[in-house]
Amino acid sequence: HYKNILAMKKFLITAAAALAAIGASAQSYLLNNPSNTSYFGIRASYDMTCPGKMKTDLGKTKVLGIGSGASLGIVYNQPLVANLYIEPGVTFYYHTESIEPEYLSSIAKKTFQNRSLRKFGAEVPVMFGYHFDFTPSVSLSVMTGPVLNVGISNDYYITTKEVAGHKFHTSGTMYNDYGMNRVGCDWRFGAGLTFSGTYYVAVTGDVGMCNMLKDNNANASLRENGVKFTLGYNF
């Protein structure tokens, strides 16, 4: 019996030491993964654009409605300290937004066949983030940082249905015809999940920080926000 008791004590001490070592290793891995390395990744997103109201000296006016689009790009993830990282990237997007009929004229909403903006451009995000590695293949990251937005084209299309034998259509560029800026800056924040070491999903939100209207004489301002639902693959 005495030998059995000694053997049991030895087993319990060994097991406790092993569990303590595993716990310490897991905690270290969670906050400071020694296997951190730089990598490239591709990102594809479904985008929702959420423009704010246009503000003038006369008050606020809803000019643009919520729209949708898609984006595709690449990122480069560089570890800094522990699990802290910086991740610059380049993304090209195609977005659409609706133009509010009340802003165009007083005619009925159902009279319009098309009243949309179609935008193509590039985003240059620089994200700072921290990832929590729960296992060698699963990690959760939180990130934030600025996004440079460069518009390549921003065209409007307005078409009415045929009424009394007449149909109206017009199109043009918002940059020249309505004085919108090509370049803006947003602030992005979000969270992402990496699993199997390579697959990536994330949700991020962009807050517009710049006035996208050039007409400063009218004290008009318009800011655009957005949400992204992203899938990715890390190499």
pTM: 0.80
Of 69-78, 94-103, 155-164, 225-234, give the lowest mean pLDDT range: 155-164
- Tallying the residues shown for the chain, one arrives at 235
Q: Binning pLDDT at 50, 70 and 90, where does residue 22 land? A: very low
Number of other residues whose CB lies within 10 A of the CB of residue 225 = 16
In sequence order, which residues have a C-beta less than 8 Å from that of residue 58 and are 6 or more positions away?
none
Residue 216: exposure state from Cβ atoms within 10 A (0-12, 13-18, ≥19): exposed
Backbone angles phi, psi at 78, to 5 degrees: -120, 115
